[in-house]
Structures are given as C-alpha cells and as structure tokens.
Amino acid sequence: MSERQLDIADMQCWVFRMAQLKWELSPKECAKLFKKYDILGFISKCYEFLHVSSYNCALEDVEDILKANGVNI
C-alpha cells in the first residue's frame, strides 16, 4: 500500500469509529449505512479535500450526505 492509501484507510477507520460512537450504532449497523451510501468511497474520492480539516468535519460531511438521502441519524 502506498502512503496515500494508508492515509485514506486511516481516515476511513477513524470516521467509521467516530460515527459508530456518535450515532450509537453497532459495527454491523454502521457498516450497513456506510456500504449503502458508499461512505468509504466518498472519503477516498474526497480525501484531498477532507484531510485538510478535522475528522469531525469529515464526519459532519458524512452526516450531510446521509441526511440528503433521507437518513435520520
């Protein structure tokens, strides 16, 4: 894995874990949401923009995506 790929994977893991704790979901429930709305893909595609802000900001962007898709978290 390249350094960039490791950085993206690190952000994906952190945002997943933060979402799980904040939304009080099991890992399975959180993974289902992330898969359905391709959140890991979003983080990967937008990494260049996301990594200059905090992981909290990245989580807020994820929440915006979910809300735009009618998900009430």
Cβ 73 vs Cβ 66: under 8 Å: yes
Q: For residues 51 and 23, what is the distance between their CA atoms, to the nearest angstrom?
A: 22
Cβ 7 vs Cβ 44: under 8 Å: no
pLDDT in tens, 1-54: 899 999 999 999 999 999 999 999 999 999 999 999 999 999 999 999 998 999
* pLDDT reported for residue 49: 93
How many Å is the Cα radius of gyration of the chain?
A: 12
